[in-house]
Amino acid sequence: MTPGKTSFAGIVERAAPALVIVAVLVIWEMFVRLRGIAPIYLPPPSTIAVYLFRMLADGTIEFNLGVTLLRIFAGFAVAAFAGVTLGVLMGMSRIVARIADPWIAALYPLPKIALIPLLVIWLGTGEVYKIVISAITAFFPIVISTYAGIRQTDQGLVKAAQDLGANRRQIQMKIVIPAAIPSIFAGLHLGMGVTVILVVAAEMIGSSSQSGMGFLLIQSGQVMETEKVFASLIVLAVVGALIIKLQEWIDRKVAPWTAYRDEH
Amino acid sequence: MDVIVEDVTQVWPGRGGASVVALDRFSHRFASRRFSCLLGPSGCGKSTLVQIVGGLETASSGSVRISDPALPGVTRPVGVDSVMVWQNLNLFPWRSVLDNVAFGLEMQGLTKAERHERAKSLIASVGLSGFEGHLPGQLSGGMRQRVALARALILERPIMLMDEPFGALDAQTKIVMQEELLRVFDETHKTILFVTHAIEEAILLGDEVIVMTARPGRIKEVLPVGLPRPRSLEMVNSKAFGALFDRAFHLIREEVMTSMAQQAMALEAK
């Protein structure tokens, strides 16, 4: 579509990101080999690739990633359901908002990792602990965004609906909630981000289950298998990017109008 | 339907306890099946007035009575017989053209089949067939305007309140939409209250032009427009049109100056 697409400058622009990645890998490889750096400190990319394929071949990655993803989706599902429900209720009822507000104000700024000792005492170090810590963390951005979205409904749309004969209940169901969807999705994106962080962190700290990408990372680190640490990090980065892409795809499917929402 | 506005005053609470009088004892009888244009500088309360007539704002004092000329003495509640067409359209961005137009019928509880059938015929009548499944954000300004018009017309309410509906359109699209509205008026003969700050538009469309003063909004003069119907854009070149334009321009000029001075003062006060 751009006129420069087939021109030399256009080709350079499109190829540049991939070229830079290749260049970084080549420099890294040469730097490590020429300077004779020990692989415990910095393994060369080629070795990391070998380890990555080995870990994929013997199922280490598949198993641990699968377990981590299950925990992420479980924690996220709990947080999404609770957060969206409470956010909508707060937006619709002033009493609910007034009661919930001081709790959210007090608990939101608290670093949720600080709750780990308490949760371990209460819940032990099993699955429930990891799901609860990630759900608690993801809950706050979701509830706050949902509430904000409901409150910031364009009053022009509300008046227009009222003029066209909508009653209060119809305005809430047909106008206020759909109008809040972009905000709700923004909250869900933030919530998903922190769920990933918290699940991996919980797998690293005080988990008895000996599984998951966080466990794989910490275990490889403790025995100085730096190649496995890098391989695990690459897997986490790729999976994180895929989760974001998946969310964006769902957004477009569920609410295609958000692409045009600035010009209604 | 007649719309009888009596002594309507609207006062907004202003900064630091001072209050702003948006409308000051506005009285007028908008006669049934007549096209009335409210012309005035920005901030003169003309938008507020149509919202009060539509039951979407409550006046600080005064009254609005809606009554059928065939049943004098019976006053109907505000809002029931009127429908708004908004300056910024207020289309529901997540609803397709079809579901935007059908919204009013959906609220009345009509079945999907019934409301879609009627919405489709209205969409066709405003020339948007084939765009039923589009979202408002995918349409041009003129097409969105037609959706807003169809969404209002589907309810078949006898009073249509229009708040600068064509203000945001480009000049050519505006002309087409004005012709469209004239056609609708000739076919339906609704009672129309049309807010504008464009003198030409007010004269071309209206049976009367109510020139308003700068804030606080009062009636400065009511100009009857004697131009024959059906109206067409060529009338803009007629002698009668020119005379009306001069008169309206003379009246509005002073008010615009006053309004600009008010705005400058408000800015300085900040």
- As a whole number of angstroms, the distance between CA B122 and CA A179 comes to 26
User: In the predicted model, is pLDDT for residue A2 greater than 70?
Assistant: no
Contact B204, B233 (CB under 8 A): yes
CB spacing of B90 vs A156 below 8 angstroms = yes
pLDDT mean over A5-27: 88
The strand order across the sheet containing B2-13 reads B19-30, B2-13, B61-67
Domain extents in chain B: 1-80+188-247, 82-156
Residues A25 and A56 in one domain: no
- Residues of B with a Cβ under 8 Å from any A Cβ are 51, 54, 56, 79, 83-84, 86, 88-94, 103-104, 106-108, 135-138, 151, 155
CB spacing of A156 vs B92 below 8 angstroms = no
CB spacing of A167 vs B107 below 8 angstroms = yes
Non-local CB neighbours of A107 within 8 Å, separated by 6+ positions: A140
3-state secondary structure of B44: coil
* pLDDT in the model for residue B11: 92
Cβ pairs bridging A and B (under 8 Å): 68
Residues A64 and A23 in one domain: no
Contact B97, B128 (CB under 8 A): yes
Contacts of A179 in chain B (CB under 8 A): 94
- Residues of A with a Cβ under 8 Å from any B Cβ are 154, 156-157, 159-167, 170, 174-175, 178-179, 181, 255-257, 259-261, 263-264
Lowest mean pLDDT among A184-188, A258-262, B1-5: A258-262
A43 inside domain: no
CB spacing of A156 vs B56 below 8 angstroms = no
* pLDDT in the model for residue A264: 41
A44 inside domain: no
A11 inside domain: yes
Contact A214, A201 (CB under 8 A): yes
Tell me the average pLDDT of chain B.
92
Q: A91-124 burial, b for 16+ CB within 10 Å, e for fewer?
A: bbeeeebeebeeebeeeeeeebeebbeebbeeee
Residues A80 and A122 in one domain: yes
Residues A97 and A212 in one domain: yes
The model's pLDDT over A165-221, given as tens digits with 9 standing for 90+, comes to 999 999 999 999 999 999 999 999 999 999 999 999 989 886 777 899 999 999 999
3-state secondary structure of B109: coil
A45 inside domain: no
The model's pLDDT over A104-138, given as tens digits with 9 standing for 90+, comes to 999 999 988 888 889 989 998 888 999 999 999 99
- As a whole number of angstroms, the distance between CA B211 and CA B256 comes to 11
A42 inside domain: no
Return the ∠ at Cα B241 (arms to B236 and B242), rounded to 5°: 95
Tell me the average pLDDT of chain A.
91
Residues A66 and A184 in one domain: yes
* pLDDT in the model for residue A261: 55
* pLDDT in the model for residue A47: 94
The model's pLDDT over A223-255, given as tens digits with 9 standing for 90+, comes to 999 999 999 999 999 999 999 999 999 988 888
Residues A32 and A54 in one domain: no
In which domain, by residue range, is A1 found?
1-37
CB spacing of A260 vs B151 below 8 angstroms = no
| Chain A residue with the nearest C-alpha to that of B100 | A161
pLDDT mean over A12-35: 92
- CATH number, residue A241: 1.10.3720.10
Q: A3-40 burial, b for 16+ CB within 10 Å, e for fewer?
A: eeeeeeeeeeeeeeeeeeeeeeeeebeeebeeeeeebe
Contacts of B94 in chain A (CB under 8 A): 178-179, 181, 255, 257
| Chain B residue with the nearest C-alpha to that of A255 | B94
Let me know if B109 is exposed, middle or buried by CB neighbors in 10 A (0-12, 13-18, 19+): exposed
Q: How confident is the model at residue A11 (pLDDT cuts 50, 70, 90)?
A: confident
3-state secondary structure of B36: strand
* pLDDT in the model for residue A1: 46
Percent of chain B surpassing pLDDT 90: 75
Q: Who among B56, B90, B108 is closest to A157 (CB)?
A: B90
Q: How confident is the model at residue A5 (pLDDT cuts 50, 70, 90)?
A: low
Interface mutation vs chain A, best among B48, B82, B89, B92, most A CBs within 10 Å: B92
| Domain B1-80+188-247 architecture | 3-Layer(aba) Sandwich (3.40)
A106 inside domain: yes
Contacts of A165 in chain B (CB under 8 A): 104, 107-108, 155
Contact B43, B215 (CB under 8 A): yes
Instruction: Provide ipTM, 2 decimals.
Output: 0.91
Q: Find where tokens 């109907």 sit.
A: B76
- As a whole number of angstroms, the distance between CA B27 and CA B7 comes to 5
A259 against B198, higher pLDDT:
B198
* pLDDT in the model for residue A83: 96
Looking at the 3D structure of chain A, how many domains does it have?
Answer: 2
